[in-house]
Amino acid sequence: LELEGALRHALAHGEFELHYQPQVDVASGQVVGMEALLRWRHPRLGLVQPERFIGLAEETGLIVPIGAWVLRTAALQNRAWQRAGYGPLRIAVNMSARQFAEPGLAREVAAVLAESGLAPDSLEVEVTESLVMTDAEAAIATMHELKAMGVAMSIDDFGTGYSSLSYLKRFPVDVLKIDRSFVHDLAGDSADAAMVDAIISLARGLRLRVIAEGVETCAQLDYLRDQGCDLVQGYLYSRALPVAEAEQLLRAGR
Ligand code: G
Ligand code: G
Ligand code: MN
Ligand code: NA
């Protein structure tokens, strides 16, 4: 209960911030996107990671207004970066099931795009398989609404959820994000390598882009490049950065 009050207070008093993790095109080495990741700048505890509070925010429904803040903040930030000349940049935002199930979500996304002036294809919405499977028909309908607006959709943590391939065929998605658990042991575990190969060829067959998460080593990057992975995200390139540092990185890469 105390944490719930603290979360409400945080939202009302501007204690949330977004950090941005670059997504790098494997072929060109350019930063082509950023994933927005929520942080809570607590006055006493310092920077609190989302694992500590997202669960409660979901349970209490606070994730709905918090998620709305994330969406708007990320869109305005990306538009500001584009205006500053940092090139075409896509911004990826994570969504919780509760937020995605809100009846007004597509309208809210449309309003944020209108306010920010961000092109719809500069926004990517990340959902997990478990989010979609919570109420598949409703989620697929919402995905179609967003798709129709030109917003990109990705499946986060792909391969760890419970959706079947027959469902994947019905998801109007543009991107599969290979979960970092598969990337971690790429060199040492032939089963993980087989999973990664399979996801990449699946993505290619379905004409989807594929992003590998949690890329930490050159060996992992080399492997992924050889397999035809489109984008990588991970500590090898950068952790999630506060705005000023993300901007420095964009400036350096321009
Ligand atoms: O940034 P990383 O640290 O530690 O993120 C941890 C988890 O929190 C990830 O699973 C990520 O998807 C989730 N997360 C981060 N930011 C958001 C957000 O804005 N909304 C939702 N729903 N989840 C988020
Ligand atoms: O939304 P998602 O579940 O993908 O959240 C991304 C999470 O992965 C965040 O917690 C982020 O801090 C973490 N992360 C990002 N890059 C790396 C990495 O290279 N290695 C590891 N172990 N974690 C990472
Ligand atoms: Mn994510
Ligand atoms: Na993930």
Residues in contact with 70: Cβ distance below 8 Å, sequence separation at least 6, in sequence order: 16, 18, 36, 38, 93, 94
Q: How many residues does the chain have?
A: 254
The per-residue pLDDT string of the chain (254 residues; one tens digit each, 9 = 90 and over) reads 689 999 999 999 999 999 999 999 999 999 999 999 999 999 999 999 999 999 999 999 999 999 999 999 999 999 999 999 998 999 999 999 999 999 999 999 999 999 999 999 999 999 999 999 889 999 999 999 999 999 999 999 998 987 788 888 899 999 999 999 999 989 888 999 999 999 999 999 999 999 999 999 999 999 999 999 999 999 999 999 999 999 999 999 87
Q: Which of 19, 20, 38, 123 to mutate to test the pocket of ligand 1 (most atoms within 8 A of CB)?
A: 38
Taking CA atoms only, the protein residue closest to ligand 1 atom 24 is 94
Residue 234 Cβ contacting ligand 2 at under 6 Å: yes
Residue 94 Cβ contacting ligand 1 at under 6 Å: yes
Expressed in angstroms and rounded, the spacing between residue 178 Cα and the centre of ligand 4 is 7
Q: Tell me what ipTM this predicted complex has.
A: 0.97
Expressed in angstroms and rounded, the spacing between residue 98 Cα and the centre of ligand 1 is 14
Q: What is the pTM of this model?
A: 0.97
**Could you give the angle at which helices 218-227 and 190-205 cross, rounded to 10 degrees?**
40
